[in-house]
């Protein structure tokens, strides 16, 4: 069963990584570049502050803690434990992997920290905004996190399983941090639990 999943993961990787073009190379290289999303992060921060109102400062505490936790767990409990080579670092297939601008990443790729971080942020922010901006789920999960996760496979840095498990970790942690945020909000004086206008 494990061998079957491994083979399926590799075949799916080559399907995605092998379907490339010069224009797509440029797009996905910058999709995967963290500073590309800075204006989007600023917009999300503004929206979260608007929803939290007097408790706006909590988002400045929780989002950095969430990303730090997600990033560290993806590295310490997954990459450093499973030691699964990235496709572009795997000696068996690295010569068949399409790379963009020579980008590869570190030695190990399970799980994708990009996927974990972006899906954690997407889940946390969506839960905060869902009553005020209910149609934003597709922007957060598809246009932001999903596109970033796809770019990691396209660029040859991760297998599909790396980004899927990373996404599941991120979604789980995003939900847990949201629950913790709501619990703390309920304990603060002058609490405002409602997230709708």
Q: What is the DSSP string of 2-67?
A: HHHHHHHHHHHHHHHHHS--HHHHHHHHHHS-GGGGHHHHHHHHHHHHHHHGGGTHHHHHHHHHHH
Give the model confidence (pLDDT) of 7-52 as tens digits.
899 999 999 999 999 999 999 999 999 899 999 999 999 999 988 8
pLDDT value at position 190?
56
pLDDT value at position 88?
94
CA–CA separation, 13 and 21 (whole Å):
16
State which residues of the chain have pLDDT below 50: 191-197
Instruction: Output the pTM of the full model.
Output: 0.91
CA–CA separation, 7 and 160 (whole Å):
12
Residue/partner pairs of 35-41 with CB below 8 Å, 24 or more apart? 37/144, 40/144
pLDDT value at position 53?
86
pLDDT value at position 12?
95
pLDDT value at position 189?
66
């Amino acid at each position: 069963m494990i061998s079957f999943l491994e083979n399926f993961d590799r075949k799916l990787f080559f399907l995605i990584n092998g379907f490339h073009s010069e224009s797509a190379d440029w797009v996905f290289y910058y999709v995967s570049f963290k500073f590309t999303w800075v204006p989007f992060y600023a917009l999300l921060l503004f929206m979260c502050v608007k929803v939290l109102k007097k408790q706006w400062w909590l988002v400045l505490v929780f989002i950095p803690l969430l990303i730090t936790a997600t990033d560290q767990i993806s590295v310490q409990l997954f990459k450093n434990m499973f030691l699964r080579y990235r496709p572009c670092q795997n000696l068996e297939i690295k010569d068949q992997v399409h790379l963009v601008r020579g980008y590869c990443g570190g030695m190990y790729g399970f799980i994708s920290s990009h996927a974990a971080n972006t899906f954690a942020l997407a889940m946390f922010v969506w839960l905060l905004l869902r009553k005020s901006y209910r149609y934003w789920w597709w922007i957060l999960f598809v246009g932001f996190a999903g596109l970033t996760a796809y770019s990691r496979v396209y660029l040859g840095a991760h297998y599909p399983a790396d980004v899927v498990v990373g996404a599941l970790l991120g979604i789980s942690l995003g939900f847990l941090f949201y629950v913790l945020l709501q619990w703390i909000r309920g304990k603060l004086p002058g609490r405002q639990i409602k997230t709708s206008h």
